Structure 1
Amino acid sequence: MTKEIYDIAIVGAGIVGLAHALAGARRGKRVVVFDRDARANGASVRNFGFITVSGQEAGDCWEKARRSCMLWQEVARDAGIPILQCGMTVAARYREAEAVIDAFLASDMGAECRKLSRDAARDYVPALNGDVRCALYSPHEIRVESGTAIASIAAFLTARHGVTFRFAEAVRVVETGRLVTSRRVVEAEAIIVCPGDDTSTLFPDRIAAYGVTRCKLQMMRIEPASAVELKTAVMSDLGLARYRGYADLTEASALKARLDEERRDARKNGVHLIVTQSADGSLVVGDSHHYAATPDPFGSTAVDDLILAEFDRILDLPERRTTGNWIGTYASAEGRWRLTDTPEEGVRLVVVTAGCGASTSFAIGEETIADLYGANAGA
């Protein structure tokens, strides 16, 4: 068994692990990243590629999303990752949803956002349905193709920063200053474990103490019958009742009550609408939310139909067809959106426990490295 020495060893090559690798490499540290799969295959590549700021929970989450979006733009530029859409349009059909938009715009998080009439919103989303009352426009978001962006970030980290990647190599042991796989022993002054929704391999008792379970979601790819350009990502009233930055506002209570009554099935299945567009014109559409320690691996046509029904309420795209479906999972914990734990000296366990990993991870990586090495050391 070979022995190697690095400054930082990272377990997990999803977006959380990559974010820590970037932050460490920017400090001039020698970094190695391990992943049990031959390539990133979890939540980081099964999502919308939608880096969301507006609507994130007020405080730490929203602040991390703002910083991460700035870093995403830097990385996208340097790694040659196309930014396919900028901004977000949240279409509202209910008067209660309009009240939530007004309250959000009056908050600190509403800075630079605007309320648009339906006609004005059609400048960004021409296919908006006629019964949309108004829309919230946010300029803060960007969208990349997550299925290729994650691999591009890894390649960039290797080429620009000399980060070493060990794919298809599972880590068996992590302790202070030492990491063991089936092939090698690595000595490192810092080890950062980013396990995603794997709650049983490394430090399972530490993870269990935070009440972490898993969230299963359903997504699909839609092909419009005729060409349509969505200049921004699209959301709907259901998102205003689910995303904490909106849903925690006092004014959201009436919207949630109405949706619980009129859209009971959608609410019960955690359905809300996000629509993003790929370079080929197809649309990534989702999603739903079901929670279990071991979610079943099967998609539900009934749940897909609930998502598509919301799609059709917001977008007028007749004869659209579904060309692909998939299941995603991510770690989830009641009452918290992330955790950073210190199971041993020099070891950090970092998990995003909500569906905002892509939106917040770069800032979390900076925070972890600053905690390990000091706020200004090597900067």
Structure 2
Amino acid sequence: MATFDLAIVGAGIVGLGHALAAARRGKRVVVIDRDAQANGASVRNFGFVTVTGQGAGDCWSLARRARDVWVEIADAAGIDILQRGLVLAGRLPESEAVIEAFLASEMGEGCERLGAGQALSHVPCLRPEAARFALYSPHEVRVESRQAVPLVARFLTERHGVEFRWGTSVVAVEAPRLITADGGVIEAEAVIICPGDEFTALFPERIAAYGVTRCKLQMMRVRPATPVSLGTAVMSDLGLGRYLGYAELPEAEPLKRRLDAEMVAHRENGIHLIVTQSADGSLVVGDSHHYAATPDPFGSDEVDQLILDEFDAVLDLPGRTVTERWIGTYASASGRWRFTDKPSDSVRIVVVTSGCGASTAFGIGEETIGELYGRQELYGQHG
């Protein structure tokens, strides 16, 4: 019978964040996942580790820490950082007050307002009229999620001796024992369950108490007709009306009213624009948000077209083509961006309920491990 200090159920980015934090303390860690590799929200996103615009408080501060960890491990894990920074291009007059209020807040540290010409120096294909009021942040980094997440798992195995049990379903947690579907038993002093949007396999009644549902999103890969280089990721006015770090500012109310009145379909479909660039020059573009306990698995061309309409309003890329489309789902809950539940002294359930797992998981992992094992200084560690 295998015995570990810590067993983690779920090998998405939240599970990996906890594995890294525990392994850095010298803990013997096993990560168990029902799939052959990470296949959920962790690999179906922009790879955009977002700090600026995250909700004020712990979401923003944990995102800052998670960004630092991504940078710390990137070289050793063989992960390429493809872009740094963000240009948020605002074209509506109401966006100016939101940007100014954000810059005046604690979260605006290191950010600056740009003129259209300055914004174009970062994003040459930006339409000048789309960047009348531009916000620049240096804080973000961008990785290719579908490559980076497996590389984190490999790094944990090779550098820290973390064991992975792929294709293995845990059917019961009776700490210090985990029972797998094939009748196997794993012993661990502590257990962290990171189920993503799987709410019924383990402790369903405890997870249900948080009012969880699922969010479905649509995303695309767009190839420019001629090569273009985006120096940063790109967002637009719709992001100011949706990301809580902006949208919860009092100054955002006029902007949200205008968006509700003039971009009805975009708002009803939870659309805001993010554009990131991959190593091959293609662009990852999205996204939309629809909520249901069991979202349907079908993509809507109408929703994709709304996303592309905003893309074309912001970026001047005639002849661009869509080469790939996909759907993602993640856990969602009203009024909270994450939760940690404590079934017992040695068991935790950790769920990110706002789609920002890639941006916060390494920070959350350090927090959870600190609470389980006692806090110690992790900041600035490498490897």
> In structure 1, what is the equivalent of residue 134 of structure 2?
135
Residues 117 and 128, structure 2, Cα contact 8 Å, conserved in 1: no
Of 224-233 and 167-176, deviating more is 167-176
Q: Give the Cα separation in 1 of the matches to 2:345 and 2:203.
A: 14
1:309, CA displacement in angstroms? 0.3
Residues 224 and 282, structure 2, Cα contact 8 Å, conserved in 1: yes
Any runs of at least 4 consecutive aligned residues in structure 1 with deviations exceeding 2 A, and if so which?
A: 376-379
Deviations along 1:18-58, one digit per CA (max 9) or x if unpaired, are: 00000010110000000000000000000000000000000
The alignment partner of 2:46 has SS state of coil
> In structure 2, what is the equivalent of residue 282 of structure 1?
282
The alignment partner of 2:129 has SS state of coil
> In structure 2, what is the equivalent of residue 61 of structure 1?
59
After superposition, where does 1:282-361 map in structure 2 within 5 Å? Answer: 282-361=282-361
The alignment partner of 1:122 has SS state of helix
Q: Give the Cα separation in 2 of the matches to 1:322 and 1:226.
A: 14
Residues 95 and 133, structure 2, Cα contact 8 Å, conserved in 1: no
Structure 1 gaps of 5+ residues are none
Residues 177 and 189, structure 1, Cα contact 8 Å, conserved in 2: yes
Residues 338 and 354, structure 2, Cα contact 8 Å, conserved in 1: yes
Amino acid in the other structure paired with 2:133? C
1:377, CA displacement in angstroms? 9.1
Deviations along 1:292-348, one digit per CA (max 9) or x if unpaired, are: 000000000000000000000100000100000000000000000000001123000
1:220, CA displacement in angstroms? 0.3
1:141, CA displacement in angstroms? 0.1
Q: Give the Cα separation in 2 of the matches to 1:285 and 1:82.
A: 19
1:100, CA displacement in angstroms? 0.5
The alignment partner of 2:122 has SS state of coil
Q: 1:261 to 1:377 in 2, by over 3 A?
A: closer
Residues 274 and 285, structure 2, Cα contact 8 Å, conserved in 1: yes
Amino acid in the other structure paired with 1:337? W
RMSD over aligned Cα atoms: 1.0
1:80, CA displacement in angstroms? 1.2
1:75, CA displacement in angstroms? 1.4
After superposition, where does 1:20-31 map in structure 2 within 5 Å? Answer: 20-31=18-29
Q: 1:313 to 1:25 in 2, by over 3 A?
A: same
The alignment partner of 2:265 has SS state of helix
1:83, CA displacement in angstroms? 0.1
Deviations along 1:147-195, one digit per CA (max 9) or x if unpaired, are: 0000000000000000000001111111221111124201111000000
Q: Give the Cα separation in 2 of the matches to 1:134 and 1:60.
A: 28
Q: Give the Cα separation in 2 of the matches to 1:308 and 1:329.
A: 20
Of 124-133 and 144-153, deviating more is 124-133
Q: Give the Cα separation in 2 of the matches to 1:96 and 1:242.
A: 14
Q: Give the Cα separation in 1 of the matches to 2:355 and 2:253.
A: 22
After superposition, where does 1:1-379 map in structure 2 within 5 Å? Answer: 3-132=1-130, 133-183=132-182, 184-376=184-376
Residues 177 and 188, structure 2, Cα contact 8 Å, conserved in 1: yes
The number of aligned residues is: 377
TM-score of the pair, normalised by structure 2: 0.97
Amino acid in the other structure paired with 1:161? H
Structure 2 gaps of 5+ residues are none
The alignment partner of 1:279 has SS state of coil
Of 125-134 and 316-325, deviating more is 125-134
Amino acid in the other structure paired with 1:234? V
Q: Give the Cα separation in 1 of the matches to 2:261 and 2:181.
A: 54
Q: Give the Cα separation in 2 of the matches to 1:155 and 1:258.
A: 47
Residues 175 and 347, structure 1, Cα contact 8 Å, conserved in 2: no
Of 145-154 and 126-135, deviating more is 126-135
Amino acid in the other structure paired with 2:168? E
Residues 34 and 166, structure 2, Cα contact 8 Å, conserved in 1: yes
